[in-house]
Amino acid sequence: MRAAGSNAFDMNKEFENILEKVSVLYRKYGIKSVTMDDVAHELGISKKTLYQFVKDKTELVEKVVKHTLQCNFSAMKAKKGTGDNAIEELIEVSQRVNALMKDHSQSYEYDLKKYYSGIYRNLMSARRKLMYESMLVNIRQGKKEGIYRRELNEEIIAKLHLLRVENLQSSEIFREEEMHSVKFFRELFVYHINGLATQKGREVLRKNKARLDQLVKH
C-alpha cells in the first residue's frame, strides 16, 4: 500500500508537469486563445481531471505564472556563488536572463496584462522585489571585494537599475527585437558595470570579455 504522503507527492509532481506544459502553450499561442478544452486535449487528460487541480482558467493562469516565477527564481538562486566575485557572478546570472529572453512571448505578456491585470500586477511586484534585492546583494558584495566603488549608495543604484530596466520595456526608442537581443543586453551589462566599478573592477571586466562575448554568440 502506498502512503498518503507518497500520493500527495505524486499529485504535486503531476500538477507541476501540467503547469510546465500549459506555460509552453500560453507562450506559444497566447493565454486568451487557449481554452481549458485545449489544455485538456493537449495534455491528454479529461477536463474533469484538470478541474481536480484548479477551479477555473483564472486559477490555472495564476498557478502557471507563480510556478514559472518560482522556477526562474530557483535558477537565478542556483547561480549565486558560482562566480569568483560580484562581476563574474552577475555574468552567470546574465546568461540565465539571456535564456529567459529567448523564451519571451509578447502575446503572453499582453494577454496577462489585459485580461488578468491582478495576476499581472502581482507578477510585476514579485519581479521588482527579486531584481531589487538581488542587485542590492550584488552591489554590497562588489564593494566588499573592492571591485565596486565604496561611496556608491546601494539603495539608489539598485532602484535606478530597476527603473532603467522597466522603462526600457515601455520605451518606443528601441524596437522590441532590439531590446530582446543578446547584443543589446551585453552593452547594457557593460554600461552598468562601468558605472559601478573601481579600476580593479574594470580589470575584472576586461578579463571576462571573452565570457561576455559568449552572450552575443549564443
Maximal CA-CA distance, the chain:
65
pLDDT at 172 over 70: yes
What angle (nearest 5°) sits at the alpha carbon of residue 113, between those of residues 67 and 49? 45
Which pLDDT value is given to residue 2? Answer: 45
Number of compact structural domains in the chain: 1
Strand partners, 197: 148
Residue % of the chain over a pLDDT of 90: 61
For range 192-218, the mean pLDDT: 86
Looking at the domain assignment, is residue 40 inside a domain?
no
Of these ranges, 87-96, 152-161, 164-173, the one predicted with the greatest mean pLDDT is 152-161
Handedness of CA 170, 173, 177, 181 (dihedral sign): negative
For 148, list phi and psi in degrees, rounded to 5.
Answer: -115, 150
Say if CB 162 and CB 184 are below 8 A apart: no
Range of the domain at 81: 58-217
For 9, list phi and psi in degrees, rounded to 5.
Answer: -65, -45
For range 6-25, the mean pLDDT: 82
For range 180-189, the mean pLDDT: 80
CA nearest to 54, candidates 68, 40, 41, 44: 40
* Residue 60 neighbours by CB distance under 10 Å: 22
Report the chain's mean pLDDT, rounded to a whole number.
87
Question: Is 140 exposed, middle or buried, given 0-12, 13-18 or 19+ CB atoms closer than 10 A?
Answer: middle
Looking at the domain assignment, is residue 47 inside a domain?
no
pLDDT per position as a tens digit, 131-165 = 899 999 999 999 999 999 999 999 999 999 889 87
Q: 106: which residues sit within 8 A by CB, 6+ positions away?
A: 176
What does the alpha-carbon distance between residue 14 and residue 59 come to, in Å, rounded to a whole number? Answer: 17
Residues in the chain: 218
For range 172-186, the mean pLDDT: 78
Which pLDDT value is given to residue 216? Answer: 55
Looking at the domain assignment, is residue 94 inside a domain?
yes
Looking at the domain assignment, is residue 104 inside a domain?
yes
Cell numbers found for residue 157: 543604484
- Name the residue type at position 48: K
Which pLDDT value is given to residue 11? Answer: 65
- CA distances for 216 relative to 5, 131, 185, 211, angstroms: 46, 22, 8, 10
Q: Return the CATH number at 79.
A: 1.10.357
Looking at the domain assignment, is residue 113 inside a domain?
yes
Looking at the domain assignment, is residue 12 inside a domain?
no
Which pLDDT value is given to residue 85? Answer: 96
Half-sphere exposure of 173 (CA within 13 A, CB side): 5
Looking at the domain assignment, is residue 8 inside a domain?
no
For 197, list phi and psi in degrees, rounded to 5.
Answer: -80, 145
Looking at the domain assignment, is residue 19 inside a domain?
no
Judged by average pLDDT, the poorest of 46-60, 161-175, 200-214 is 161-175
Which pLDDT value is given to residue 1? Answer: 42
